Amino acid sequence: MAAQVLERMDVGAPQGGKKKLIRRSAPDRSQRIRHVAQVIFLVLNGWIAAQFYLWVRYFERGGHGLQVSRPTGVEGWLPIAGLMNTVYFLRTGSIPAIHAAAMFLFLAFVLMSLALKKAFCSWLCPVGTLSEALWKLGRKLFARNLRMPRWLDLPLRGLKYLLLAFFLFIIGTMSAEALQSFMVTPYGIIADVKMLNFFRDIGESAAIVIAILVFGSILLKNFWCRYLCPYGALMGLVSLLSPMKIRRDPEACIDCAKCAKACPADLAVDRLMQIRSAECAACMECVAACPAENALQFSLRPKRAAASSERWRRRVVGPAVFAGILAYIFLGMVLFARATSHWRTTIPQSVYMDLVPRANSVTHPGM
Ligand code: SF4
Ligand code: SF4
């Protein structure tokens, strides 16, 4: 009953006196497993980028040199196409012919957010991984990371939601015909090549912006993800529907505040009963930092029971199971798209031979 009452409260009651620490019996493995997942996804994306570059070079050389197939996984880098195709699919019930993989990958990441909060950001996204590496480098160099004052931090966090609202408004108000017409334009077909060229022929202003982002990411934790990424904003909003959350048991907790100190999103983990925030990326840094047995878990709503261990029984998702669920959703979606022949975009070679070499002169149809 006590657990039920506390579960309904947002903030744990202050405890009188110092509580006895019952140390965790098993060492935490969450960060090791998460870092392995991050490295696997980083390597996968590096491999996709290298193969895509070779594929583009083949057409730029007029069909000479090494010929490789187009790595469809590159469409994971086309979130706008993924969103457009999803809206098209919702409106028509038909799977689009161009960049369907962008839609399947987008849906896989949305499903992950429904199941495991914003896990995509802290377990898989290569930008999130690089961001994390940069702020950890900053902490090593300067012994700490900067913290924005709260009055500035909150409105800045809102920027990513504004960017998301902008994209949702533009795409959400397009008709199915308009969405399809956009996708079959030269710009839509080679959106991935345009993206590669953006980084290959980077202009002075874009280079300055990227340098500012890198510098900001060294000083502040997850600078890009925290303030500017509309994709993360969407995953965060979807994650509000997830039944899984970081949950604290105030009876086992000794109020040491190590969890809050470890949280890259600066959430008050030590004072809340559960973390509902759209900013929680399910990184489990808080769980890893917690010294007390059964005090902090990534879990479903706990059971009503007198003993702390009983309350969590069959409710907790450990890091290995967590990684397994992510792999299941990701591979399941890719295999489903492959099995139903919707994975690859089939465009005749002659079209690519025409468009890829002159990609820089192909402009957005709205311009
Ligand atoms: S609350 Fe825990 S899981 Fe969520 S972002 Fe903070 S440290 Fe990561
Ligand atoms: S790390 Fe957080 S949840 Fe764990 S004992 Fe300390 S205050 Fe409680």
Provide DSSP, 156-213.
HHHHHHHHHHHHHHHHHTS-HHHHHHHHTSHHHHTHHHHHHHHHHT--HHHHHHHHHH
For ligand 2, atom 5, name the residue with the nearest CA: 253
Mean pLDDT of the chain: 93
- Cβ of 296 closer than 6 Å to ligand 2, yes or no, is yes
Q: What is the pLDDT of residue 12?
A: 45
- Kindly state the average pLDDT of the residues 47-67: 96
Q: What is the pLDDT of residue 20?
A: 85
Q: What is the pLDDT of residue 17?
A: 60
Distance CA 113, CA 240 (A): 9
Closest ligand to residue 268's CA: 1
* Among the listed residues 37, 30, 24, the one whose alpha carbon sits nearest the alpha carbon of residue 319: 30
Closest ligand to residue 284's CA: 1
Q: What is the pLDDT of residue 22?
A: 86
Residue 293 CA, ligand 2 centroid: distance in Å: 10
Q: Which pLDDT band, with edges at 50, 70 and 90, does 29 fall under?
A: very high
Ligand 1, residue 284: give the atom nearest the CA.
3
- Kindly state the average pLDDT of the residues 149-174: 97
Residue 343 CA, ligand 1 centroid: distance in Å: 34
- Kindly state the average pLDDT of the residues 36-60: 98
pLDDT at position 8 over 50: no
CA-CA-CA-CA dihedral for 53, 59, 62, 64, to nearest 10 = 60
Distance CA 112, CA 115 (A): 5
Q: Which pLDDT band, with edges at 50, 70 and 90, does 6 fall under?
A: very low
- Kindly state the average pLDDT of the residues 311-322: 94
Q: Spell out the residues 6+ positions from residue 158 whose beta carbon is closer than 8 angstroms to its own.
A: none
Q: What is the pLDDT of residue 18?
A: 73
Q: Work out the end-to-end distance of the chain between its first and last CA atoms, rounded to an integer number of angstroms.
A: 63
pLDDT at position 186 over 80: yes
Q: What is the pLDDT of residue 19?
A: 80
pLDDT at position 170 over 70: yes
Q: What is the pLDDT of residue 235?
A: 98
Q: Which pLDDT band, with edges at 50, 70 and 90, does 237 fall under?
A: very high
Residue 220 CA, ligand 2 centroid: distance in Å: 24
Q: Indicate the DSSP class of residue 72.
A: G
* Ligand 1 probe mutation, 235, 240, 271, 286, most atoms within 8 A of CB: 286
Characterise 181 by phi-psi region: left (phi > 0), alpha (psi -120 to 50), beta (else).
Answer: alpha
Q: Which residue has the higher pLDDT, 281 or 7?
A: 281
Q: What is the pLDDT of residue 307?
A: 85
pLDDT at position 10 over 60: no
Rounded percentage of the chain residues whose pLDDT exceeds 90: 89
* Ligand 1 probe mutation, 245, 267, 270, 287, most atoms within 8 A of CB: 267
Q: What is the pLDDT of residue 1?
A: 36
pLDDT at position 222 over 60: yes
Q: What is the pLDDT of residue 14?
A: 45
- Cβ of 285 closer than 6 Å to ligand 2, yes or no, is no
Characterise 62 by phi-psi region: left (phi > 0), alpha (psi -120 to 50), beta (else).
Answer: left
- Kindly state the average pLDDT of the residues 97-106: 97
Radius of gyration of the chain, Cα coordinates, nearest whole angstrom: 23
Long-range contacts of 211-217 (CB under 8 A, 24+ apart): 214/134, 217/130, 217/131, 217/134, 217/135, 217/138
Q: What is the pLDDT of residue 2?
A: 38
Rounded percentage of the chain residues whose pLDDT exceeds 70: 95
* Ligand 2 probe mutation, 245, 246, 251, 259, most atoms within 8 A of CB: 259
Q: Which pLDDT band, with edges at 50, 70 and 90, does 358 fall under?
A: very high
pLDDT at position 3 over 50: no
The pLDDT tens digits of the residues spanning 250-308 come to 999 999 999 999 999 999 999 999 999 999 999 999 999 999 999 999 999 998 888 88
pLDDT at position 241 over 90: yes
- Cβ of 70 closer than 6 Å to ligand 2, yes or no, is no
For ligand 1, atom 2, name the residue with the nearest CA: 286
- Kindly state the average pLDDT of the residues 105-113: 98
- Kindly state the average pLDDT of the residues 115-122: 98
Closest ligand to residue 275's CA: 1
